[in-house]
């Protein structure tokens, strides 16, 4: 009798210990999801759900215990299974996994989300998209222009068809189009003679003239971009303000001034990152996204940051089932959550085991 009482007392203490971990994890997950709820409310719900789930496991064990008399074992077994599914499988286990996974990943996820968002905001505030596009356009233009000059040189210097003939005029018309001279022509230069030296001189004159016209054209092109940049000064100011907010936030987190495990503080962090998402969506035409996944996330109808998704048990499980957390150790935390609860249920059943 004494040994039995000691075993039950030890089992009760062990149940309380494991149940406390499980209830804490459930309460934390609920508080992250519903930060407006007082933490005490989340604890009440988590304790209530866990006790009901524990009773469900006891009902299953009792229904299978052939050493004691039980009426309506089938109903008891079915009721226990329903309680375990509703209160443990649907609520307790997923929320516990969420809390364990959240605590393991939140620092890394916040840093990644802020850094990525800052990079896109930096593109907006510095007009990097337009600048990079302009540089690419100019490089391609210079290459095409150079190839066209080579064609002109070969035509003028050709001993078979030297000088400013119809072929040269056609090439000059192509240059006119490249230089934006839609309704104008480039007049052929006078050829001083037909000797090879004269042909070199005339080509050199064309080279100087056309390159000067090209430089003027590129200057005008750059001016158009700069004028467009001036038109977007408010956009740049908005992006710079949001960028600076996130930069300060990132420094505060690294300094340990913000507790990312606190539901209220992580909500504030998430709100600031979400403002960055919203601004990037508004000015997405000025952003060159690194990959399709980022473009989809930042330009969604209602953009939600990765940090915000990590605070939601529903989104975390949804992303996991969609393969988003492959290789991230999520399954490990599922197993830990199951083992913690399984230990609590075993000790609960040992404590309140129905005796013959």
pLDDT tens column, 310-322: 999 999 999 999 9
Q: Are residues 252 and 116 in the same domain?
A: yes
Q: Are residues 315 and 224 in the same domain?
A: no
Predicted local confidence at residue 232, as pLDDT: 66
Q: DSSP letter at 188?
A: P
Q: Are residues 140 and 284 in the same domain?
A: no
Q: Within 13 Å, how many C-alpha atoms sit on residue 211's CB side?
A: 11
Q: Are residues 226 and 144 in the same domain?
A: yes
Mean pLDDT along residues 54-59? 95
Domain edge (last residue) among 231, 265, 287: 231
Mean pLDDT along residues 264-286? 93
- Residue 346 scores a pLDDT above 90: yes
Among 45-49, 69-73, 149-153, 208-212, name the one with the lowest average pLDDT. Answer: 69-73
Q: Are residues 217 and 166 in the same domain?
A: yes
pTM, to two decimals: 0.74
- Residue 205 scores a pLDDT above 80: yes
Q: Are residues 162 and 244 in the same domain?
A: no
Instruction: Quote the domain boundaries for residue 305.
Output: 105-129+233-327
Most confident of 98-102, 191-195, 217-221: 98-102
Domain membership of residue 61 (yes or no) is yes
- CA–CA separation, 251 and 262 (whole Å): 18
Mean pLDDT along residues 51-70? 88
Q: Are residues 121 and 237 in the same domain?
A: yes
Q: Are 270 and 41 in contact (CB under 8 A)?
A: no
Among 86-95, 318-327, 334-343, name the one with the lowest average pLDDT. Answer: 318-327
Residue-level length of the chain: 356
Domain membership of residue 356 (yes or no) is no
Q: Are residues 7 and 97 in the same domain?
A: yes
Domain edge (last residue) among 176, 210, 231: 231
Rounded mean pLDDT of the chain?
88
Predicted local confidence at residue 161, as pLDDT: 66
Predicted local confidence at residue 101, as pLDDT: 97
Per the model's pLDDT, the better-predicted residue between 70 and 289 turns out to be: 289
Domain count, the chain: 3
**Which percentage of the chain shows pLDDT scores above 70?**
91
Predicted local confidence at residue 66, as pLDDT: 78
Domain membership of residue 45 (yes or no) is yes
| 269 class by beta-carbon count within 10 Å (0-12 exposed, 13-18 middle, 19+ buried) | buried
Domain edge (last residue) among 231, 265, 286: 231
Q: Are residues 112 and 258 in the same domain?
A: yes
Q: Are residues 109 and 96 in the same domain?
A: no
Q: Are residues 47 and 138 in the same domain?
A: no
Q: Are residues 109 and 151 in the same domain?
A: no
pLDDT tens column, 88-110: 999 999 999 999 999 999 999 99
Q: What b/e readout covers 160-181, taking b as 16+ CB neighbours within 10 angstroms?
A: eebbbeebbeebbeebbebbee
- CA–CA separation, 298 and 99 (whole Å): 26
Per the model's pLDDT, the better-predicted residue between 187 and 282 turns out to be: 282
- Residue 80 scores a pLDDT above 50: yes
- CA–CA separation, 15 and 262 (whole Å): 27
Mean pLDDT along residues 214-234? 74
Predicted local confidence at residue 1, as pLDDT: 47
Mean pLDDT along residues 66-83? 86
């Amino acid at each position: 009798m004494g040994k039995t009482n000691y075993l039950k007392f030890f089992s009760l203490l062990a149940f309380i210990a494991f149940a406390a971990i499980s209830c804490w994890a459930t309460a934390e997950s609920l508080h992250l999801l519903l930060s407006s709820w007082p933490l005490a409310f989340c604890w009440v719900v988590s304790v209530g759900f866990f006790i009901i789930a524990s009773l469900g496991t006891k009902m299953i064990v009792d229904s299978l215990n052939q050493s004691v008399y039980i009426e309506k074992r089938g109903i008891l077994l079915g009721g226990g299974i329903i309680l375990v599914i509703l209160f443990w499988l649907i609520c307790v286990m997923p929320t516990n996994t969420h809390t364990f996974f959240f605590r393991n990943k939140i620092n890394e996820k916040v840093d990644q989300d802020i850094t990525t968002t800052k990079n896109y905001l930096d593109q907006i505030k510095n007009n990097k998209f337009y600048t990079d596009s302009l540089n690419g356009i100019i490089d391609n233009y210079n290459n095409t222009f150079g190839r066209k000059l080579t064609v002109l040189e070969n035509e003028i210097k050709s001993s078979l068809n030297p000088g400013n003939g119809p072929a040269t005029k056609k090439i000059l018309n192509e240059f006119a189009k490249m230089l934006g001279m839609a309704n104008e022509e480039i007049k052929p230069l006078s050829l001083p003679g037909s000797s090879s030296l004269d042909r070199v001189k005339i080509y050199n004159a064309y080279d100087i003239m056309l390159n000067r016209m090209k430089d003027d054209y590129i200057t005008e092109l750059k001016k158009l971009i700069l004028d467009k940049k001036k038109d977007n000064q408010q956009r740049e100011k908005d992006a710079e303000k949001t960028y600076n907010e996130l930069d300060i936030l990132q420094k505060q987190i690294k300094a340990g001034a913000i507790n990312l495990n606190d539901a209220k503080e992580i909500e504030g962090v998430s709100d600031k990152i979400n403002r960055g998402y919203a601004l990037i969506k508004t000015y997405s035409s000025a952003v060159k996204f690194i990959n399709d996944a980022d473009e989809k996330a930042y330009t969604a109808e209602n953009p939600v940051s990765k940090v915000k998704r990590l605070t939601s048990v529903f989104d975390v499980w949804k992303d996991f089932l969609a393969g988003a957390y492959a290789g991230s150790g999520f399954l490990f935390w599922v197993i830990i959550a199951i083992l913690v609860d399984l230990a609590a249920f075993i000790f609960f059943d040992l404590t309140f085991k129905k005796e013959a």
